[in-house]
């Protein structure tokens, strides 16, 4: 039986994506070769890469003057590549969680980092507001969805300097005003496909702002842009699966439809949490993530947390254990997760509570 997958990442993928990718692994377009065996420079694979790039542009309504890249190295490599390429004197960062912290740490290798605001004082349960972005910063970096702590920025901020966003865990879950960003990037493994490929949407003019330091060729955006993401052999199977995932999003009605589904899943779970006498949410209401829903048991029931995980597992629900820095539970509800799985989790929470709370 297929599980109800609430994993934080890699995450659940749509059934047609798994099927079509499995078929392409066996044989790509009657070529007599697997997608793993064809030349990445041959017409069959080039079409896959071009399709993936144009689908991403179409789905996010990417304006002219932006390019798409699919690279290796994960979002974590971007934490280093961004400051290596664009931090000349100082960069501004918003500290909203573990991933934002990792991005800040890498940036410090290359220059001055102004952390404009941090929610570390309250274990990242909110997104800081009311900070001022310095006009002399080379760029401003944000993390739109904090996967571990379950907070999310649902509006695209205004920035007087190039805005760069890690959207690893909420890409394709809502329409985004790409024109407000100089760069959007992330690991594909939450909403866009399997692990092993990183998506980058980059404003072409950002390339004119490259820092004056020696940068290895493979770590320059320019290099990859000039080769259409084929400077070195791309992760072909992963790119294939990304293309399939993007097609699935399109066939489902695009990011507006994804947003409706994300709202429906999140509303149901948060309602269940808020009406519960046993469970309580950890993030402040106004900054709650639709993608990663974090909750714990109230102190008087706390010792039952591991038992609830087993109780849910018996119904095929997997991946709801919270990250160690928050504890309790985290239900990650990415694009491919069906509402029916969320209903099952909500019903399971109610049933468990009814058994235990007298
Ligand atoms: C998962 C995640 C990352 C890490 O991505 P890798 O591809 O594993 O490097 C970075 N940022 C956010 C917001 C994430 O959720």
pLDDT digits (tens, 9 = 90+) for 284-315: 999 999 999 999 999 999 999 999 999 999 99
Name all residues whose Cβ lies below 6 A of ligand 1: 9, 74-76, 99, 143, 147, 166, 168-169, 187
Mean pLDDT across 43-68: 97
Structure tokens at 186: 């992330």
pLDDT band at residue 83 under the 50/70/90 scheme: very high
CA distance 114 to 176: 26
Count of other CB atoms within 10 angstroms of residue 190:
29
The structural domains of the chain, with segments of one domain joined by +, span 15-251, 254-356
pTM of the model: 0.97
Q: Which residue has the tokens 């003019």?
A: 205
Close Cβ partners of 267 (under 8 Å, ≥ 6 residues apart): none
Q: Which residue has the tokens 């901020």?
A: 157
- pLDDT above 70 covers a percentage of the chain that reads 100
In the chain, the N- to C-terminal Cα span, in Å, equals: 34
User: Which atom of ligand 1 lies closest to the CA of 148?
Assistant: 15
Write out pLDDT tens, residues 214-225.
999 999 999 999
Mean pLDDT across 70-75: 97
Respond yes or no on whether the N-terminal peptide bond of residue 276 is cis (omega within 30° of 0): no
Q: Are 168 and 186 in contact (CB under 8 A)?
A: yes
3-state secondary structure of 67: strand
Pick 15-251's CATH classification: 2.30.110.10, 3.30.70.240, 3.30.70.3000, 3.40.640.10: 3.40.640.10
Write out pLDDT tens, residues 188-208.
999 999 999 999 999 999 999
List residues bridging with 69 in a β-sheet: 200
pLDDT band at residue 86 under the 50/70/90 scheme: very high
- 254-356, which class in CATH? alpha beta
User: Which atom of ligand 1 lies closest to the CA of 195?
Assistant: 7
Is the model's pLDDT at 1 over the cut of 90? no
99 in active site: yes
Cβ burial 325-347 (10 Å sphere, 16+ → b, else e):
ebebbbbbbbbbbbeebbebbbe
The vertex-326 CA angle with 92 and 173, nearest 5°, equals 60
CA of 77 to the centre of ligand 1 (A): 10
248 in active site: no
Structure tokens at 40: 């990445």
Q: Are 142 and 287 in contact (CB under 8 A)?
A: no
- Strand pairing class (112-118; 90-95): parallel
- Dihedral angle of Cα 262, 295, 199, 117, to the nearest 10 degrees: 110
- pLDDT above 90 covers a percentage of the chain that reads 99
Give the CA distances from residue 161 to residues 107, 131, 351, in Å, rounded to whole numbers and listed in that order. Answer: 17, 14, 50
How many Cα atoms are found within 13 Å in the side-chain-facing hemisphere of 266? 24
CA of 126 to the centre of ligand 1 (A): 19
CA of 352 to the centre of ligand 1 (A): 33
CA of 75 to the centre of ligand 1 (A): 5
How many residues are listed for the chain in this entry? Answer: 358
Q: Are 83 and 273 in contact (CB under 8 A)?
A: no
**Residue ID of nearest Cα to ligand 1 atom 4:** 75
pLDDT band at residue 358 under the 50/70/90 scheme: confident
């Amino acid at each position: 039986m297929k599980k109800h997958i609430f994993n934080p990442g890699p995450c659940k993928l749509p059934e047609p994506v798994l099927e079509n990718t499995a078929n392409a692994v066996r044989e790509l377009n009657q070529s007599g070769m697997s997608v793993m065996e064809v030349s990445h420079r041959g017409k069959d694979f080039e079409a896959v890469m071009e399709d993936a790039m144009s689908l991403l542009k179409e789905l996010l309504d990417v304006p002219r003057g932006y390019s798409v890249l699919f690279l290796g190295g994960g979002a974590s490599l971007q934490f280093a590549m961004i400051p290596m390429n664009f931090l000349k004197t100082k960069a501004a960062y918003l500290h909203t969680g573990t991933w934002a912290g990792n991005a800040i740490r890498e940036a410090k290798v290359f220059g001055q980092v102004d952390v404009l605001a941090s929610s570390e004082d309250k274990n990242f349960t909110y997104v800081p507001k009311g900070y001022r972005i310095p006009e002399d910063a080379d760029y401003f970096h944000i993390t739109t969805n904090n996967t571990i702590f379950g907070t999310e920025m649902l509006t695209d901020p205004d920035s007087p300097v190039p805005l760069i966003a890690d959207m690893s865990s909420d890409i394709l879950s809502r329409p985004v005003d790409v024109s407000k960003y100089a760069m959007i990037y992330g690991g594909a493994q939450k909403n866009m496909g399997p692990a092993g490929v990183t998506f980058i949407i980059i404003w072409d003019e950002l390339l004119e702002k490259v820092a004056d330091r020696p940068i290895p060729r493979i770590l320059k955006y320019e290099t990859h842009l000039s080769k259409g993401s084929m400077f070195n052999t791309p992760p072909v199977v992963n790119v294939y699966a990304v293309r399939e995932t993007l097609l699935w999003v399109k066939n489902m009605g695009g990011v507006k439809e994804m947003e409706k589904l994300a709202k429906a899943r999140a509303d149901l779970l948060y309602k269940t949490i808020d009406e519960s006498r046993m469970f309580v949410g950890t993030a402040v209401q106004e900054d709650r993530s639709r993608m990663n829903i974090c909750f714990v048991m109230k102190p008087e029931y706390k010792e039952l947390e591991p038992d609830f995980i087993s109780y849910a597992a018996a119904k095929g629900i997997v991946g709801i254990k919270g990250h160690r820095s928050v504890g309790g539970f985290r239900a990650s509800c990415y694009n491919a997760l069906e509402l029916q799985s969320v209903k099952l989790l909500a019903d399971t929470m109610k049933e468990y509570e009814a058994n235990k709370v007298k």
